[in-house]
Amino acid sequence: MQNRTLILLQWLAMALTVTFGMVAGEYFKPFNVSYDHRALIIDGQRRMLISAGIHYPRATPEFNSILPSQDVLSIYLAIYNAVSLPLPDFIQMWPDLIAKSKEGGANAVQTYVFWGGHELVKGQYNFEGRYDLVKFVKLVGSSGLYLHLRIGPYVCAEWNFGGFPVWLRDIPGIVFRTDNAPFKEEMQRFVKKIVDMMREESLFSWQGGPIIMLQIENEYGNIEGSFGQKGKDYVKWAAEMAVGLGAGVPWVMCKQTDAPEYIIDACNGYYCDGFKPNSNKKPILWTENWDGWYTNWGGSLPHRPVEDLAFAVARFYQRGGSFQNYYMFFGGTNFGRTSGGPNIITSYDYDAPLDEYGLLSQPKWGHLKDLHAAIKLCEPALVAAESAQYIKLGSMQEAHVYQGNKSICSAFLANIDEHKTITVQFLGQYYTLPPWSVSILPDCKNVVFNTAKVGAQTSIKVVDFEPTLSAKTSTPNHFMIQKEVPLISESWMTFKEPIGAWGDDNFTFKGVLEHLNVTKDQSDYLWYITRIYVSDEDVLHWEENASNPSLVIDSMRDLVRIFINGKLIGSARGDWVKVVQKVQFKQGYNDLVLLSETVGLQNYGAFLEKDGAGFQGQITLTGFKNGDVNITHSPWTYQVGLKGEFLKLYATEDNKSSGWTNLTDEDVPSALSWYKTYFDSPGGKDPVVLDFSSMGKGEAWVNGHHIGRYWTLVAPKDGCQETCDYRGAYGSEKCNTNCGNPTQIWYHVPRSWLQPSDNLLVLFEETGGNPFEISVKTVSVKTVCGHMSEDYYPPVDMWAQPNYSNMKPVVQLQCEDGYKIESIEFASYGTPQGTCQAFSTGNCHATNSSAILSKVCEGKNSCKIEVSNSVFGDPCPRTVKTLAVKAKCKPSSSSSSSTQWYGGLSDI
| Dist. CA 654–CA 573, nearest whole Å | 36
Active-site entry in 288, 497, 822, 866 = 288
* Residue 61 bridge partners (DSSP): none
| Dist. CA 64–CA 75, nearest whole Å | 19
| Dist. CA 423–CA 394, nearest whole Å | 9
On whether the CB atoms of residues 465 and 482 are closer than 8 A, the answer is yes
Query: Which amino acid type is present at position 373?
Result: A
On the 0-12 / 13-18 / 19+ scale of CB atoms within 10 A, 651 is middle
| Dist. CA 881–CA 774, nearest whole Å | 48
* 166, HSE (Cβ side, Cα atoms, 13 Å): 22
Dihedral pair phi/psi, residue 458, rounded to 5°: -105, 135
- The residue among 676, 684, 668, 733 whose CA lies nearest residue 704 is 676
CA distances from 338 to 52, 125, 153, 219, 253 (A): 21, 17, 16, 20, 24
In 10 A of CB 44, how many CB atoms? 8
Dihedral pair phi/psi, residue 523, rounded to 5°: -155, 155
* 617, HSE (Cβ side, Cα atoms, 13 Å): 12
Question: Alpha carbon 784 to chain centroid distance?
Answer: 23
CB within 8 A of 455, min separation 6: which ones?
366, 367, 370, 788, 792, 793, 809, 811
CB within 8 A of 223, min separation 6: which ones?
177, 231, 605, 606
CB within 8 A of 812, min separation 6: which ones?
457, 786, 795, 862, 863, 864, 899
Beta strands in 750-857 (DSSP E): 759-765, 775-789, 810-814, 819-830
User: Whole-angstrom distance between the N-terminal and C-terminal Cα of the chain?
Assistant: 12
Helix axes 133-142, 181-200, angle to 10 degrees: 50
288 is an active site residue: yes
219 is an active site residue: yes
Q: Is the bond preceding 794 in cis, omega lying within 30 degrees of 0?
A: no
| Dist. CA 609–CA 227, nearest whole Å | 14
- Alpha helix locations (H) across 411-461? none
Go through the chain and tell me how many residues it has: 908
On whether the CB atoms of residues 317 and 378 are closer than 8 A, the answer is yes
Can you count the helices (H) and strands (E) in the chain? Answer: 14, 42
Active-site entry in 62, 158, 219, 699 = 219
Question: Alpha carbon 594 to chain centroid distance?
Answer: 34
- The residue among 654, 692, 701 whose CA lies nearest residue 674 is 701
On whether the CB atoms of residues 662 and 754 are closer than 8 A, the answer is no
Give the three-class secondary structure for 464: strand
Q: What is the DSSP string of 17-84?
A: HHHH-SS-S-SS----EEE-SS-EEETTEEE-EEEEEE-GGGS--PPPSSPPPHHHHHHHHHHHHHS-
CA distances from 535 to 42, 264, 303, 587, 622 (A): 80, 69, 58, 6, 14
| Dist. CA 311–CA 680, nearest whole Å | 46
On whether the CB atoms of residues 532 and 592 are closer than 8 A, the answer is yes
Dihedral pair phi/psi, residue 170, rounded to 5°: -90, -5
User: 697-702 and 661-662 as β-strands: parallel, antiparallel, unpaired?
Assistant: unpaired
Would you please indicate which residues are annotated as catalytic (active-site) residues? 219, 288
